[in-house]
Structure 1
Amino acid sequence: MTPLTGAPAAARLRIADEVSLPELTLRGLLLGALITVLFTASNVYLGLKVGLTFSSSIPAAVISMAVLRLAGGANILENNMVQTQASAAGTLSSIIFILPGLVMTGHWVGFPFWQTASVCAIGGILGVLYSIPLRRALVVQSPLAYPEGVAAAEILRVGSASPTPDPAAAPGPPAPGLADIVAGGVTGAAFSLIASGFKLFGEGLTWWFAAGGAVFRLGTGFSLALVGAGYLVGIVAGLAMLLGVVLAWGVAVPVLTATTPMPPEATLAGFATRLWSTQVRFIGAGVIGIGAVWTLLVLLRPVAEGMRASFAALRTSRSSGADAIPRTERDMPIHLVGGLSLLLIAPMALIFHRFLAASGPALPAGLHASLVAGAVLFAFAFGFLIAAACGYMAGLVGSSASPISGIGIVAVTLVSLLLLVLPGSGELLASQEGSGLAIALALFTTSVIVAVASISNDNLQDLKTGWLVGATPWRQQVALMVGCVAGALVIPPILDLLYGAYGFAGTLPRAGMDPAQALAAPQATLMSAIAVGIFTHRIDWSMILLGIGIGLVVIGLDALLARRGGLARLPVLAVGIGIYLPPTISVTIVIGAVLGWLIARALQRRAAAAGTDAAPALEHAQRRGVLLASGLIVGESLVGVLLAAIIGASGNQTPLALVGPGFEPAAGWLGLAGFLLVCAAFAGRVLATR
């Protein structure tokens, strides 16, 4: 997404420092909690299915404006607090990039509620606290774009006719855009119910063919949530992902299938898929890993400069006295930030202690204490560095495009290596049971880092929105922490529900389940494989090193494209994701990105033919497209969660199916027809003048 810059001047309101309006209200907190359940469930499902989550700030802002307007009206700052809380909780669901690994490796058989909720809440609150000292430097004094933050501010402005509601006025009509979210949600839900529930539509089409011993695959999925995700990602990342698909299925898999003997009993699809999952995906892991490291290296200097400027501003503010600080500059006091951060050491240490003691071999007291201390110190120290890096990256490329999963890959590698060199680790790794515990501890520690990264990534985006509309920072920071706690309470039962209904790739909770329906959980699968490979010395470094080499080439090409200027770029992380994800996922995302590009081109041609400025039409279409795409994601995701509950209750993998397996060929073509019709309708609604 790009910043919305063409809003009318009348809509560009910012509440002045001397004006005090209700912000952190009880009704706002309750509404934020309800929206939290909605978007956290959606993001958990989407993240487990395709390895992507979406920014919930804009749809949360629209829902808040609509509900509070019907309830008697609300000012722009109260609406901002609701979207702040809801977006924090939705973003915290990124922890599913790592936590399912504990089930995949056999350490957990489900998701223990208090351990899961506690690690989510503590990591999220740390993410908020760590990013507070960075607000002035990275939000107020920085030229960083913060695309989602700016877009959310524009949505709030457009939906706020006046800064102060009239208590005597009758409730007004819903805020602009709610109809688009509802339309997208109903469409996404209906299509998903017909396809995944009733089985009348197929969920994708795939064609396999061989040429000279090389196996090729063409196909796409029909997920409308992925179309929405692709629309939000944009054409640059979409085409980079398509390059990854071509490298995987147009080069790597054909070469491997041509040079590897095919077992007599194997099918083309099974043979090619096995080589992709056991070898080619590690090429993608290498590309993603080097992309994350490169991003962090590039950001080291600006992040360090931002931190120095921020602490200097804090010292100046404290020396001038609290009353001299304008309302819109009042952060949570730095001594309170430091005190709360230190206080979290005790519960985190307790969580790690209980995690080690709950299962696995009995450890000597010294080794047990050493592992707990090492994990806690790594989480606190590395978490702060990651918070700074993610805050900067969110401003640079936006929350949706920030490489949280890449940071998780770096973190799990570092913490695994740290555990290998800790005093007494040799004794732990001497047995298979001890190695399993070390793998689980590495994954559990990384989950804290991922929570810190995801929340700091979202926090500064929300604070940018608040700065643009005139919110009070410390109240937003409180709302962010409330959102973290609310999201932490929602995530464990949803994870349990989805795992029990669908299972994860390679890990099914019950016999007789359909592996094709399992949730891919791609990042968790990858991070688990890295941790297992490091501790067992069986990681396939050749493919990972090949991926690193490809990643370096892509980084070089992207630098050349950047030097030439223009929109043509080649983001390395998107290329890696295209290699790593199955084409039924990645190609569908590309379709959504191309659809957005075609819509933009059509608007530009229409404006050129009329001899008018294209900016207002593009802005209107962008806003409508974002809301429709968000609705598609939410609608399909909620149906996925609902179906999971029905599957779990019935014990039947297809409880709503109206047809049998013999209908699959016809369902595939019906699904394609329905998919194309919805894409055409999406474009028509976005291009509509009203």
Structure 2
Amino acid sequence: MAHGPPEEHQQANDSRTVRERSAEEGPSPYVPAGKRVAELTIKAVVIGLALNVVMLTANMYLGMRSGMTISASIPAAVISMGLFYGLRRIGVGGTILENNIVQTMTSAGEALAAGVIFTIAGVTFLDQPIDVVNTAVVAALGGLLGILFMIPMRRYLIVKRHEELPYPEGTACADVLEAGSRGDEGVKLISVGFLVSFVYMWLANGMAAFRTTLETAFTAGETEGFAIGGDFTPALVGVGYIIGPRIAGYVFGGGLIAWMMLIPLLITGGFVPESAADAALMAQANAVWDAYIRYVGAGAMIVGGFYAIVSMRGTIVDALGTAVAEIRGSGSAAKGERKRTQRDLPMKIVVIGAVLIALALVAVPQVQVGLLGGFIAVIAAFLFVAVSAYLVGVVGSSSNPVSGMAVATILIAALALRSAGVTDPVVVLMTASVVAIAAAVAGDTSQDLKTGYLLGATPRNQQIAQVIGIALSALFAGWVLYFFHQAYGIGSDTIPAPQAGMMALISEGVLTGTAQWGMILIGAVFAFVLILMDVPVLPFAVGIYLPITLATPIFLGGLLRAGIDRYVARRDDKDGTLAEHATSRGRIVAAGLITGEAIMGIVIGTFYIAGIGNSDGAPFPLGLDAGTQTILGVVALVALVGLFTASVLRNAPDTAAGNATDR
């Protein structure tokens, strides 16, 4: 990994001696606000653009094949550190903030890919061809909306709610970049987490040596369909550790309500889809979740999203007031007084840009949404950008339910468009595409801004980097989607594109009157009750919407954090340095776990693209039977938890004072 230049390293050391700041400003950044370090440079932009296209292509394929994409920020940070290290050997250095620009631009491709493959790819299920120009225009407009709408929320979500919203991938990425720049024990800790995760996922997904997904369904008395399980991958456990037991518990609580209450009631009551009526109990539970429970989660997210907007009304009003002042010219002086680490793109650009995009959604024929669709897209994008930016701060980008927000948009848009006489589901799908892309990009933008906030980056430079990255991603997205459709056929066994198929089905279903409005109402009522009880709505809603296999490993990571914290608390000295040390070590090791799995995802994706892999997705399967894979999966999980705990607690009494950090 790359080591920062001496002057940058000294600045970082100096910044760590000044750790007392107001609650308003949060912790001192790695690079102090008063220092200027190379950031948005030509070499950073060129490297970022190159990695952007690579991650866009890889994630579009992986997402359509498996239904999930991989977070690009940390892999991009690691790769860029390696590239800058190589450049330094020939006399061309790279700073930690240049590395941050690279990962910011790269992750834009990953985020836009998720929105495109979850929605625009659905036109193929409606017997429509992939239109390269249409895809590029919709992707660009949706992506830019995501960036612009996130800007006025940055200070509220990233700065003012720093302690409440950990943004796990953003925090982990900052730890990776800091450790690589310092070159101290942090590099060793990240390497341990990386190697453990990399080997773990290679054995699981590369050789099918064991199963990461352990799940079961059972009957209790006369009630059938209780289901529990987890996809125990290192990254999800690492995310759970970073967000902590409280938030992880909310997500898991929503999962329990779905899989241990609602699904058993529906199965016992005979509400099993006909296609799964004779299947095993676990398959029935999955079918009920897919047909009904997702709508419950979507209804809860709609109410939770509106409530989040109401809760942020002061911030929104302040942001709009600032925009008006800057447009009138009265805010220029205040702008000049802001610290480097507090400077965003001018609010007048945000307002004017949003207005121009709204007009383009209506006026550009390739978008195909019309006046009503454009109005719905802008309003829904603003809502779900706020929801997405908040949610990724709670549960991380890996669990950001972009498809759930797209479902909610489809339900709202289709109902409104149907009342206006629209019968074409493609119009509904394009409207949802703008929102899904905006939400995905906003979630990614907020994680990147969290990384920059912790490192001491200039928000405006990161936002410019995001805009450049989105422009390139949008330009290539249509061609990549068209290529994969011509090569494999979207909806085929090779790239089934499950989310895209679901979006197309729902679009038609709402227009024909077959959507599950009753389940949506149940979710909305449930969210309203949680609001009355002053319980966080969105983490619960995410838990309901996501498969229980994602909520459980996140909860395991939270429990691991709680157990380690309690153990350390019993041995801690009076000033708490040992607890702080353990927290720092654990976060860095967790960052390594997320990094290792993400990069292994790229490796496996490369094999897929090369045509190497069996029907289960393992390029080099060992041929073990299912029972053996399950037993070995339990052993591997126990070993993962043991290695993680040992890495966090090892040498804690001797090194506590020297390695503690402030976050």
Matches within 5 A, 1:622-633: 622-633=586-597
Following the alignment from structure 1 to structure 2, what is the Cα–Cα distance between the partners of residues 396 and 580? 15
Does the residue aligned with 2:214 lie in a helix, a strand or coil?
strand
Amino acid in structure 2 at the alignment position of 1:299: M
- Structure 1 residues 584-593 or 174-183, which shifts more? 174-183
Amino acid in structure 1 at the alignment position of 2:231: G
What is the match of residue 169 of structure 1? none
Instruction: Give the drift of 1:483.
Output: 1.9
Mapped contact 1:85–1:479 kept (Cα < 8 A)? yes
Following the alignment from structure 2 to structure 1, what is the Cα–Cα distance between the partners of residues 240 and 261? 24
Of residues 109, 134, 137 in structure 2, which corresponds to 1:115? 134
Mapped contact 1:102–1:444 kept (Cα < 8 A)? no
Q: Is the alpha carbon distance of 1:639 and 1:234 closer, same or farther for their aligned partners in structure 2, counting shifts above 3 Å?
A: farther
Instruction: Give the drift of 1:20.
Output: 5.5
Of residues 192, 209, 234 in structure 2, which corresponds to 1:224? 234
What is the match of residue 542 of structure 1? 518
Amino acid in structure 1 at the alignment position of 2:17: A
Of residues 596, 602, 624 in structure 1, which corresponds to 2:567? 602
Following the alignment from structure 2 to structure 1, what is the Cα–Cα distance between the partners of residues 230 and 266? 22
Deviations 1:435-471 (A, max 9, x none): xx3x222122222123333434444564565567665
Of residues 255, 265, 272 in structure 2, which corresponds to 1:255? 265
Instruction: Give the drift of 1:553.
Output: 2.8
Mapped contact 2:197–2:597 kept (Cα < 8 A)? yes
Following the alignment from structure 2 to structure 1, what is the Cα–Cα distance between the partners of residues 593 and 15? 21
Mapped contact 1:197–1:643 kept (Cα < 8 A)? no
Amino acid in structure 2 at the alignment position of 1:124: G
What is the match of residue 256 of structure 2? 246
Matches within 5 A, 1:195-206: 195-206=204-215
Instruction: Give the drift of 1:549.
Output: 2.5
Matches within 5 A, 1:516-527: 521=499
Instruction: Give the drift of 1:532.
Output: 3.3
Mapped contact 2:193–2:592 kept (Cα < 8 A)? yes
Q: Is the alpha carbon distance of 1:45 and 1:224 closer, same or farther for their aligned partners in structure 2, counting shifts above 3 Å?
A: farther
Mapped contact 1:391–1:457 kept (Cα < 8 A)? yes
Mapped contact 1:133–1:311 kept (Cα < 8 A)? no
Does the residue aligned with 1:509 lie in a helix, a strand or coil?
coil
Q: Is the alpha carbon distance of 1:13 and 1:576 closer, same or farther for their aligned partners in structure 2, counting shifts above 3 Å?
A: closer
Amino acid in structure 2 at the alignment position of 1:31: I
Q: Is the alpha carbon distance of 1:70 and 1:55 closer, same or farther for their aligned partners in structure 2, counting shifts above 3 Å?
A: same
Q: Is the alpha carbon distance of 1:304 and 1:47 closer, same or farther for their aligned partners in structure 2, counting shifts above 3 Å?
A: farther
1:287 and 2:306 matched: no
1:616 and 2:580 matched: yes
What is the match of residue 532 of structure 2? 556
Q: Is the alpha carbon distance of 1:387 and 1:265 closer, same or farther for their aligned partners in structure 2, counting shifts above 3 Å?
A: closer
Instruction: Give the drift of 1:487.
Output: 3.7
Following the alignment from structure 1 to structure 2, what is the Cα–Cα distance between the partners of residues 232 and 44? 27
Deviations 1:639-672 (A, max 9, x none): 442343244x789666745455x82222221222
Does the residue aligned with 1:413 lie in a helix, a strand or coil?
helix
Does the residue aligned with 1:206 lie in a helix, a strand or coil?
strand
Mapped contact 1:25–1:78 kept (Cα < 8 A)? yes
Of residues 607, 615, 637 in structure 1, which corresponds to 2:601? 637
Q: Is the alpha carbon distance of 1:501 and 1:255 closer, same or farther for their aligned partners in structure 2, counting shifts above 3 Å?
A: farther
What is the match of residue 665 of structure 1? 627
Instruction: Give the drift of 1:495.
Output: 6.2
- Structure 1 residues 547-556 or 333-342, which shifts more? 333-342
Mapped contact 2:139–2:474 kept (Cα < 8 A)? yes
Q: Is the alpha carbon distance of 1:687 and 1:104 closer, same or farther for their aligned partners in structure 2, counting shifts above 3 Å?
A: farther
Q: Is the alpha carbon distance of 1:160 and 1:444 closer, same or farther for their aligned partners in structure 2, counting shifts above 3 Å?
A: same
Give TM-score, length-normalised by structure 2. Answer: 0.76
Following the alignment from structure 1 to structure 2, what is the Cα–Cα distance between the partners of residues 656 and 396? 34
Q: Is the alpha carbon distance of 1:509 and 1:243 closer, same or farther for their aligned partners in structure 2, counting shifts above 3 Å?
A: same
Amino acid in structure 1 at the alignment position of 2:437: A
What is the match of residue 30 of structure 1? 46
Q: Is the alpha carbon distance of 1:502 and 1:220 closer, same or farther for their aligned partners in structure 2, counting shifts above 3 Å?
A: farther
Deviations 1:14-71 (A, max 9, x none): 4566x65533222111222344356556766786789777765566555544542453
1:86 and 2:106 matched: yes
Following the alignment from structure 1 to structure 2, what is the Cα–Cα distance between the partners of residues 297 and 461? 22
Matches within 5 A, 1:360-509: 371-380=369-378, 382-384=380-382, 407-422=405-420, 425=421, 428-429=422-423, 437=424, 439-459=425-445, 462-463=448-449, 466=452, 471-488=457-474, 508-509=491-492
Following the alignment from structure 2 to structure 1, what is the Cα–Cα distance between the partners of residues 207 and 452? 44
Mapped contact 1:219–1:584 kept (Cα < 8 A)? yes
Consecutive unaligned residues of structure 2, counting only runs of 5 or more, are 1-11, 19-27, 656-663
Does the residue aligned with 1:210 lie in a helix, a strand or coil?
strand
Instruction: Give the drift of 1:621.
Output: 1.8
Of residues 565, 583, 588 in structure 1, which corresponds to 2:548? 583
Root-mean-square deviation (Å): 4.6
Does the residue aligned with 2:595 lie in a helix, a strand or coil?
helix
What is the match of residue 216 of structure 2? 207
Mapped contact 1:79–1:156 kept (Cα < 8 A)? yes
Amino acid in structure 2 at the alignment position of 1:668: T
Q: Is the alpha carbon distance of 1:491 and 1:178 closer, same or farther for their aligned partners in structure 2, counting shifts above 3 Å?
A: farther
Instruction: Give the drift of 1:489.
Output: 5.2
Following the alignment from structure 1 to structure 2, what is the Cα–Cα distance between the partners of residues 258 and 143? 43
Amino acid in structure 2 at the alignment position of 1:279: Y
Deviations 1:248-268 (A, max 9, x none): 332233333333299995544
Mapped contact 1:84–1:480 kept (Cα < 8 A)? yes
Mapped contact 1:41–1:638 kept (Cα < 8 A)? no
Q: Is the alpha carbon distance of 1:195 and 1:79 closer, same or farther for their aligned partners in structure 2, counting shifts above 3 Å?
A: closer
Q: Is the alpha carbon distance of 1:637 and 1:133 closer, same or farther for their aligned partners in structure 2, counting shifts above 3 Å?
A: same
Instruction: Give the drift of 1:634.
Output: 0.4
Does the residue aligned with 1:201 lie in a helix, a strand or coil?
coil
Following the alignment from structure 1 to structure 2, what is the Cα–Cα distance between the partners of residues 261 and 543? 12
Mapped contact 1:47–1:96 kept (Cα < 8 A)? no
Instruction: Give the drift of 1:537.
Output: 0.9
Amino acid in structure 2 at the alignment position of 1:84: T
Mapped contact 1:177–1:624 kept (Cα < 8 A)? yes
Mapped contact 2:300–2:523 kept (Cα < 8 A)? yes
Amino acid in structure 1 at the alignment position of 2:633: G
Mapped contact 2:109–2:470 kept (Cα < 8 A)? yes
Mapped contact 1:226–1:588 kept (Cα < 8 A)? yes
What is the match of residue 659 of structure 2? none
Instruction: Give the drift of 1:481.
Output: 0.9
Does the residue aligned with 1:538 lie in a helix, a strand or coil?
coil
Mapped contact 1:499–1:509 kept (Cα < 8 A)? no
Following the alignment from structure 2 to structure 1, what is the Cα–Cα distance between the partners of residues 271 and 436? 40
Following the alignment from structure 2 to structure 1, what is the Cα–Cα distance between the partners of residues 635 and 486? 32
Q: Is the alpha carbon distance of 1:552 and 1:150 closer, same or farther for their aligned partners in structure 2, counting shifts above 3 Å?
A: same
Deviations 1:333-379 (A, max 9, x none): 5666666556656865576x3365xxxxxxxxxxxxxx533333443
1:680 and 2:663 matched: no
Identity %, equivalent residues: 29
Q: Is the alpha carbon distance of 1:336 and 1:543 closer, same or farther for their aligned partners in structure 2, counting shifts above 3 Å?
A: closer
Mapped contact 2:572–2:578 kept (Cα < 8 A)? yes
Instruction: Give the drift of 1:159.
Output: 5.6
1:192 and 2:157 matched: no
Following the alignment from structure 2 to structure 1, what is the Cα–Cα distance between the partners of residues 290 and 382? 34
